[in-house]
């Protein structure tokens, strides 16, 4: 249902990248826009200046109740936590939606939506590159980068186009009418338990990706996770990937589409790690359902080398490999990183730590006890990680900086080992982002005298 925006009283809560994109969208359509953010003018900097230049009213430094009165529409950015003011405004008749939901109301193109605890950026990028071979305009974004609202009004947003978006659980919290023609749920493991009251609540937020689907749409799930199917009350035609029963799975050492001629030896895949084999299967399945030819799917699978800070090979120094998986911001992702290195002859020296997200570190301890040599911890979560590993057979070190962590890991590793940055935590205690954390890791590795 398209919204009439001209002269409507609207509010954007949270002036991050998606929030600013919404301000641009609303003001361009004649809405009266108020911006609310916990941060002040100095913290918001250029974003606040642009919003004000567009004609938006700024209410900064908190969430006063008066700012939420007499509103027709409130668009909530994904980083904004639940607020009593939003509930009260909704009770008074304001529509409260996410940026993703707002975007979906102004799109005529089919939507391809990808979510999951881990792997969604890789899968979204793969599908986007595969669909570039189609004779239609393509938009790729969402949580991956460009806000979904930017697709509205473009060629990619019309009936001939295709909108491919990565969606986080936060973005899915306030969707109500968004319909995904192809919806993928890659996996669900404990994450964001500092925001959600339970794992079940977090999983339920992910499952909203299937709401509003019809029989002619596709709901894609991993074949080896039958419990995830229980999350779907509404959804399109169920199609499975991976495992022993997926339509696209590994057969005799090759990624194989059992419904087409696609067959790519695992050794020829461009991305590294066993978990990325599952990601490749999911992407190949979605692309086939969208009409991409087998030869084009195969080309992308072989040529795509992965995204920065996601199982990214950095260097080899003294026979030790250094791998940057700074995007492994939860325990499940860190475990998947370790599992992805199965087959390596040496042991793993892990660098982990950052802002704790509320889950247990026991799965990480178990996997490192099996595969690891040592653990270097840093950041706010260091005491929690030390407690988790204290009675393990692994050598444990505490570092005050990324450079110190790399130096310590290098000193403990022996030829054939892998030094792996897989923090299992978010980055915002010591770094602006996971990307900055990864960049500092790579810089420290190169300072050891290695070569790419």
Q: Are 324 and 157 in contact (CB under 8 A)?
A: no
User: Which tokens is 387 given?
Assistant: 């407690």
Q: Is the pLDDT of residue 451 over 50?
A: no
Which listed CATH number (3.40.50.2300, 3.20.20.70, 3.40.1190.10, 3.90.79.10) goes with 101-303?
3.40.1190.10
Q: According to the model, what pLDDT value does residue 222 have? A: 94
Which pLDDT band holds residue 116 (cuts at 50, 70, 90)? very high
Q: What is the pLDDT of residues 297-315, one digit of tens each?
A: 999 999 998 888 988 889 9
Q: Is the pLDDT of residue 234 over 80?
A: no
Q: What is the spatial distance between Cα 402 and Cα 404, in angstroms, rounded to a whole number?
A: 5
Report the SS3 class of residue 223. coil
The three state secondary structure string of 261-287 is: CCEEEHHHCCCCCHHHHHHHHHHHHHH
Q: Check the CA dihedral 112-115-119-120 and report its sign.
A: positive
Q: According to the model, what pLDDT value does residue 449 have? A: 65
Delimit the domains of the chain by residue range: 9-93, 101-303, 312-446
Q: Residue 244 class from Cβ within 10 Å (0-12 exposed, 13-18 middle, 19+ buried)?
A: exposed
Q: What is the spatial distance between Cα 357 and Cα 348, in angstroms, rounded to a whole number?
A: 23
Phi, psi of 239 (to 5 degrees): -135, 135
Over residues 145-153, mean pLDDT:
95
Over residues 389-395, mean pLDDT:
93
User: Which tokens is 416 given?
Assistant: 């054939």
Q: Check the CA dihedral 18-20-24-25 and report its sign.
A: positive
Yes or no: domain 312-446 corresponds to CATH 1.10.10.10? no
The reply to whether 9-93 and 312-446 are identical in fold is no
Question: pTM to 2 decimals?
Answer: 0.83
Q: Is the pLDDT of residue 3 over 90?
A: no
Q: Are 89 and 63 in contact (CB under 8 A)?
A: no
- Tell me which CATH homologous superfamily contains domain 9-93: NAD(P)-binding Rossmann-like Domain (3.40.50.720)
Phi, psi of 135 (to 5 degrees): -90, 65
- Provide the 10 A C-beta neighbour count for residue 387: 10
Which pLDDT band holds residue 118 (cuts at 50, 70, 90)? confident
Triad 199, 202, 208: Cα angle to 5°:
140
Residue with tokens 């492994």: 328
Q: Which of 64-73, 141-150, 171-180, 225-234 has the lowest mean pLDDT?
A: 225-234
Q: Is the pLDDT of residue 367 over 70?
A: yes
Q: What is the spatial distance between Cα 16 and Cα 226, in angstroms, rounded to a whole number?
A: 36
């Amino acid at each position: 249902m398209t919204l009439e925006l001209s002269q409507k009283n609207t509010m954007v809560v949270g002036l991050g990248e998606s929030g600013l994109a919404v301000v641009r969208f609303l003001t361009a359509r004649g809405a009266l826009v108020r911006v609310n953010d916990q941060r002040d003018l100095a913290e918001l900097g250029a974003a606040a200046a642009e919003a004000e230049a567009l004609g938006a009213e700024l209410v900064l430094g908190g969430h006063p109740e008066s700012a939420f009165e007499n509103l027709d529409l409130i668009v909530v950015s994904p980083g904004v936590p639940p607020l009593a003011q939003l509930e009260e405004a909704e009770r008074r008749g304001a529509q409260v939606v996410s940026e993703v939901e707002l975007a979906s109301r102004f799109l005529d193109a089919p939507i391809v939506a990808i979510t999951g605890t881990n792997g969604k950026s890789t899968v979204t990028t793969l599908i986007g590159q595969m669909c570039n071979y189609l004779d239609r305009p393509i938009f790729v974004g969402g949580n991956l980068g460009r806000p979904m609202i930017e697709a509205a009004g473009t060629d990619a947003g019309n009936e001939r186009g295709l909108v491919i978006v990565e969606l986080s659980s936060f973005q899915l919290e306030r969707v109500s009418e968004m319909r995904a023609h192809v919806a993928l749920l890659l996996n669900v493991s404990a994450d964001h338990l500092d925001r959600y009251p339970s794992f079940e609540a977090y999983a339920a937020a992910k499952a909203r990706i299937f709401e509003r689907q019809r029989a002619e749409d596709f709901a894609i799930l991993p074949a080896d996770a039958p419990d995830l199917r229980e999350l779907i009350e509404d959804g399109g035609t169920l199609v499975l990937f991976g495992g022993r029963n997926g339509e696209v799975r590994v057969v005799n050492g090759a990624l194989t589409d059992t419904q087409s001629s696609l067959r790519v030896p695992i050794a020829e895949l461009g991305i590294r790690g066993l978990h990325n084999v599952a990601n490749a299967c999911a992407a190949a399945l979605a692309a086939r359902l969208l009409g991409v030819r087998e030869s084009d799917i195969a080309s992308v699978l072989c040529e795509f080398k992965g995204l920065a800070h996601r199982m990214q090979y950095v260097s080899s120094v003294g026979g030790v490999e250094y791998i940057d998986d700074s995007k492994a911001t939860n325990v499940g992702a860190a475990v998947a990183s370790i599992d992805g290195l199965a087959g390596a002859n040496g042991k793993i020296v892990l660098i982990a730590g950052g802002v704790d997200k509320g889950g247990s570190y026991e799965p990480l301890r178990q996997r490192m006890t099996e595969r690891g040599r040592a653990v270097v911890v840093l950041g706010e979560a260091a005491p929690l990680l030390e407690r988790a590993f204290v009675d393990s057979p692994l050598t444990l070190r505490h570092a005050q900086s990324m450079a110190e962590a790399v130096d310590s890991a290098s000193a403990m590793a022996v030829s054939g080992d892998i030094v792996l940055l897989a923090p299992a935590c978010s980055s915002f205690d010591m770094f602006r982002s996971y990307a900055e954390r990864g960049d500092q890791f790579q810089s420290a590795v190169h300072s050891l005298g290695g070569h790419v």
